[in-house]
Structure 1
Amino acid sequence: MTFPGTGAPARLSLRARVLIGFSAIAAIAVIIAIAVTVTTHTYLVRQLDDRLSAFAGVAPLDSARTDRLDAPLPPQQGADARPSDVLRAFVDSSGTMTVYFAPTVDIMDAGAPVINIADLPESGNVYLDAPSTVGDEDFRVYVRTTDRGWDITALSLADVSSATQRLILIEVFGIMAMLAGLTLVAWWVIRLGIAPMGRMVDAASKIADGDLEVRLDGAGGSTETAQLADSLNAMIGTLTASLAERERSEARLREFVADASHELRTPLTTILGYSELYRRGALAKKADATDAWARTEAEASRMRRLVEDMLELAKYDAEPVLGRVEVDFADLAREVVADATAAHPHKEFTLEAIGSVSALGDPDKLRQALINVIANAAEHGGQSVAVDVSRAEDVITLAVTDDGPGMTPEMAARATERFVRGDHSRTRATGGAGLGLAITSAIVDAHGGTLTVESSQGNGTTVTITIPA
């Protein structure tokens, strides 16, 4: 198996690919969460930098205080005593920080930034993070270089850290919920989709080993795997039936070959026997020679008829050619019954046909079919043969009934097979080679009709031909 467009072999199982896919989704979700956290934190810090830039230079240096940073910073007094979380200070070249504007909001908790002079730039402005003298929260510091030192503007990072932590907590819980959902979905997909596929693979392996009794579980549902199980079960059933039919066909073929060989062997043996007698001079008398040649000619004629019948069946098996014209089945039946009455004067034939019953067909082939059926009834039946021609809706029916000894239902079901007789004696007393009804059935099939044989022992036989009108 190869993936379309890649040519690479699919070495991974479907289960592994599902798990890898879900793992990739989870990894992408984590990466997105990290990116969102970093982006949000950076955005909040930039907002803080914008505030620092706006606050820088608000308080003039001539109002500077000289309080040292190691002492508590009192709130701003007088006109400048307004709520503010900004700290303004100045750091000289010796590293001494002078605070001239202290925060008036949560001052006891915020403290002041600890500035390392080594981190301060020699020129220009810079933003940096500095630890606090109180607690664990850092300060965001905006440093501007002056001739006398560095101007410091600072804001606490407590709000930014708190918002970032809350975002991380939300993302952690969200990712955990998503992973739990993906786990349930993966379990559901594997159980309902992939596990049945695995069972189908096992069943297919057993079928490939020749076990056609295997059937797939889970059929009858509405899922794709259930529908696939239905289709595979139906396919296995069809395959089993086809193999059984093939075995039956092979058995019938072997029987056909054996019967054909027997039917051809009998006249050939007779012909060879008389030829041997003639060669040895055993037919010196004219009467004996005449009788031998008559018997030889009769057997040769019988063999010719047998070969012609088999060729006729072969033509119908290949592609029968019919010359279709309007055929009156009532007239056709009258002609055949008249011929049969002349050929079998000791038999009683009756015909019942109402009106004109016409349909398209090959008159010669249909005549041959009806002759075969009536002749078969005259030879194997009793003293009377009844022929009934009727029409019902769009179907013409020809029924031939005799009052003979009949056949077993099992034999009647096989009566149209080749070389099948009413007994297994293989003698000439019971009729010809057993191809008459087989040829008749082929003719009827070529006309799109059906031939049925109904019989029971002691109750005669009825052969029914139906032809579409």
Structure 2
Amino acid sequence: MTSRRTLSLRDRLFAGLAVVGLVAVAVAVIVTLTTRSYLVSQLDGRLDSYAGPAIIEQQIRPLFETEDSDDSRRSEAWRGWVDSDGMLHQVSSPTVEGATDATPVLTYDDLTDSSSYLTTASSDGSGDFRVLVRPFGNGWDITALPMDDVDSATARLVLIEGIGIALMGAGLAAAAWWVNRLGIAPMRRMVSASAQVAEGDLDVRLDTGAGSTETDELAHSLNTMIGTLTASLAERERSEARLREFVADASHELRTPLTTVLGYAELHRRGALAGTDAQDDAWSRTEAEAARMRRLVEDMLTLAKYDAEPDLELRDVSLATLATEIVANATVAYPATEFTFGGGDAVAHVDGDRMRQALLNVVANAAVHGGPHVTVTVVAAPDGALLTVHDDGPGMAPEVAARATERFVRGDTSRQRATGGAGLGLAITAAIVDAHHGSLDVASAPGEGTTITIALPAPNSSPAASAP
């Protein structure tokens, strides 16, 4: 099945202008023919006025023999008589100044049995005559007027129409060029650009001017769309890369405990674990690895929950109370590290349990990987509140600090898994803070320790705080 080819906008424009031009020419032709017909009809009326009574032979002979003619009546008409033999006899000629001496050329076929108007050539070929032929007696009475005025008026009309049509054609051509340049040509470039985008070329951009025409606005919109599409594709590629990295890291993290569990199970199945002490040690290690896998799976499920839409129970929480509680619990959990609450107080509209988990992850991470002293401080800000956790540990390289909140990223790649975890603590914290429309910043340098700042928005309700 073949599809019907339709005309492009440019072809339609040119076709429409061509039709307008043809209509203009047709109108000019009709006006010319109508005007000429009207002028000829007026000339016929003048022929009737000049014809008068029919000239008979008895009236002709005295005219032939008269030397002087009567000039009292000036006439533009040529009068004559055609006898039965077809001979044309001139009776009178035009008496106006500048009148032609030519006579109309008649043939026997032009002579009819009834009065008729006809157009004939002149004897000297300089123009045409409009002739009134009237049969009378044994011949025909002839009255003729030159058509010079009709021809000149028609010629002037044709000239004026020609100039008008030429000017109109020039105007239409200019309008077509203008419309094509401002409308159709940009549309064709947009079609070409869209085809390039469809083929995968996202670097194409359209030129835009300073005007506010619809095509220029459309070009701006198309450029914006291509830019948005490019950014979306780039973000999708980054997301896919992060997903592949996440899957690879998760597989790597799960491989070691699974290998340990399967190894001890294989030893037990083969009876290689002889003695109670060996079996207790194997089961203890198996239980530890299983617990580690459970924590890893729970952390990944927590991240997946925050990647969706977490269910938060928001209320006004005193951050000083929250920080004091975390410091007290961390002092018991990590006796080798000194924890200090640096003071300050602020109220944030947050989910107390989720924010406790986020701050605890940061403090625990500082206790395990930082120095011997960790300071937690609350700072009230004009547009919210800040929670800062600083440790005096070895710090991280800037490129590592920039990726510290990504999943399965460790600041110290050489640390042991027993103490290092899977690298999901800060990622979970960042997800919790982001769910509260806050931000998390990691500032660290080798030898200068690490400072993690959590910025939270101001409370929506009154500043009265409730216990977390």
Indicate the TM-score class for this superposition, using the shorter chain for normalisation: 0.7 to 0.9
Cα distance in structure 1, aligned partners of 2:242 and 2:69? 116
Deviations 1:104-156 (CA, angstroms, capped at 9, x unpaired): 21465253323334223313x32211222344211112334445544433221
In structure 2, the CA distance between the partners of 1:63 and 1:334, relative to structure 1 (3 Å rule), is farther
**Which residue does 2:452 correspond to in 1?**
463
Shift of 1:215: 4.3
State yes or no: 1:445 paired with 2:434. yes
Cα distance in structure 2, aligned partners of 1:456 and 1:214? 42
Give the letter aligned to residue 362 of structure 1. Answer: D
Give the letter aligned to residue 121 of structure 1. Answer: T
Q: 1:253-272 alignment to 2 at 5 Å?
A: 253-272=243-262
Shift of 1:172: 3.3
Say which is worse superposed, 130-139 or 437-446, in terms of deviation.
130-139
Which structure carries more relative contact order (alpha carbon 8 Å, separation 6+)?
2
**Which residue does 2:290 correspond to in 1?**
300
Cα distance in structure 1, aligned partners of 2:276 and 2:153? 132
State yes or no: 1:431 paired with 2:427. no
**Which residue does 1:31 correspond to in 2?**
26
State yes or no: 1:9 paired with 2:2. no
Shift of 1:246: 2.8
**Which residue does 1:415 correspond to in 2?**
404
**Which residue does 2:235 correspond to in 1?**
245
Cα distance in structure 2, aligned partners of 1:75 and 1:244? 111
Cα distance in structure 1, aligned partners of 2:370 and 2:59? 140
**Which residue does 1:53 correspond to in 2?**
48
In structure 2, the CA distance between the partners of 1:156 and 1:205, relative to structure 1 (3 Å rule), is same
Partner SS, residue 407 of structure 1: coil
**Which residue does 1:375 correspond to in 2?**
364
**Which residue does 1:152 correspond to in 2?**
142
Cα distance in structure 2, aligned partners of 1:408 and 1:76? 130
Q: 2:73 aligns with which of 59, 74, 82?
A: 82
Give the letter aligned to residue 157 of structure 2. Answer: L
Cα distance in structure 2, aligned partners of 1:208 and 1:315? 36
Deviations 1:17-43 (CA, angstroms, capped at 9, x unpaired): 554444444433333332332222222
Give the letter aligned to residue 329 of structure 2. Answer: D
Say which is worse superposed, 416-425 or 138-147, in terms of deviation.
138-147
**Which residue does 1:362 correspond to in 2?**
351
In structure 2, the CA distance between the partners of 1:144 and 1:290, relative to structure 1 (3 Å rule), is same
**Which residue does 1:41 correspond to in 2?**
36
**Which residue does 2:312 correspond to in 1?**
322
Q: 1:334 aligns with which of 302, 313, 324?
A: 324
**Which residue does 2:104 correspond to in 1?**
113
Cα distance in structure 2, aligned partners of 1:163 and 1:326? 98
In structure 2, the CA distance between the partners of 1:126 and 1:74, relative to structure 1 (3 Å rule), is farther
Cα distance in structure 2, aligned partners of 1:174 and 1:66? 55
Say which is worse superposed, 241-250 or 296-305, in terms of deviation.
241-250
Partner SS, residue 109 of structure 1: coil
State yes or no: 1:103 paired with 2:97. no
Cα distance in structure 2, aligned partners of 1:206 and 1:88? 83
Task: Flag structure 2 segments of 5+ consecutive residues without an equivalent.
Answer: 459-468
State yes or no: 1:277 paired with 2:273. no
Say which is worse superposed, 95-104 or 343-352, in terms of deviation.
95-104
Partner SS, residue 411 of structure 2: coil
Deviations 1:392-437 (CA, angstroms, capped at 9, x unpaired): 2232211111111111111111111111111334731552111111
Whether the 8 Å CA contact 1:221–1:227 is kept in 2: the answer is: no
Deviations 1:86-110 (CA, angstroms, capped at 9, x unpaired): 3344445444555555422146525
In structure 2, the CA distance between the partners of 1:272 and 1:283, relative to structure 1 (3 Å rule), is same
Partner SS, residue 317 of structure 2: strand
Whether the 8 Å CA contact 2:76–2:99 is kept in 1: the answer is: no
Cα distance in structure 2, aligned partners of 1:322 and 1:138? 105
Whether the 8 Å CA contact 1:66–1:100 is kept in 2: the answer is: no
Q: 2:383 aligns with which of 394, 405, 420?
A: 394
In structure 2, the CA distance between the partners of 1:253 and 1:308, relative to structure 1 (3 Å rule), is same
Cα distance in structure 1, aligned partners of 2:194 and 2:68? 85
Cα distance in structure 1, aligned partners of 2:43 and 2:329? 120
Shift of 1:252: 1.7
Cα distance in structure 2, aligned partners of 1:50 and 1:220? 66
In structure 2, the CA distance between the partners of 1:419 and 1:262, relative to structure 1 (3 Å rule), is same
Give the letter aligned to residue 48 of structure 1. Answer: L
Cα distance in structure 2, aligned partners of 1:398 and 1:75? 133
Whether the 8 Å CA contact 2:54–2:136 is kept in 1: the answer is: no
Give the letter aligned to residue 262 of structure 1. Answer: H
Q: TM-score, normalised by structure 1?
A: 0.85
Deviations 1:345-392 (CA, angstroms, capped at 9, x unpaired): 22222223434x223221111111111111111111111112121222
Say which is worse superposed, 185-194 or 114-123, in terms of deviation.
185-194
Whether the 8 Å CA contact 1:65–1:98 is kept in 2: the answer is: no
Give the letter aligned to residue 390 of structure 1. Answer: V
Deviations 1:151-187 (CA, angstroms, capped at 9, x unpaired): 4332210011111122223333444444455555556
Partner SS, residue 154 of structure 1: strand
Aligned length: 456
In structure 2, the CA distance between the partners of 1:440 and 1:64, relative to structure 1 (3 Å rule), is farther
State yes or no: 1:344 paired with 2:326. no
Shift of 1:16: 4.7
Partner SS, residue 154 of structure 2: helix
Deviations 1:301-321 (CA, angstroms, capped at 9, x unpaired): 111111111111111112211
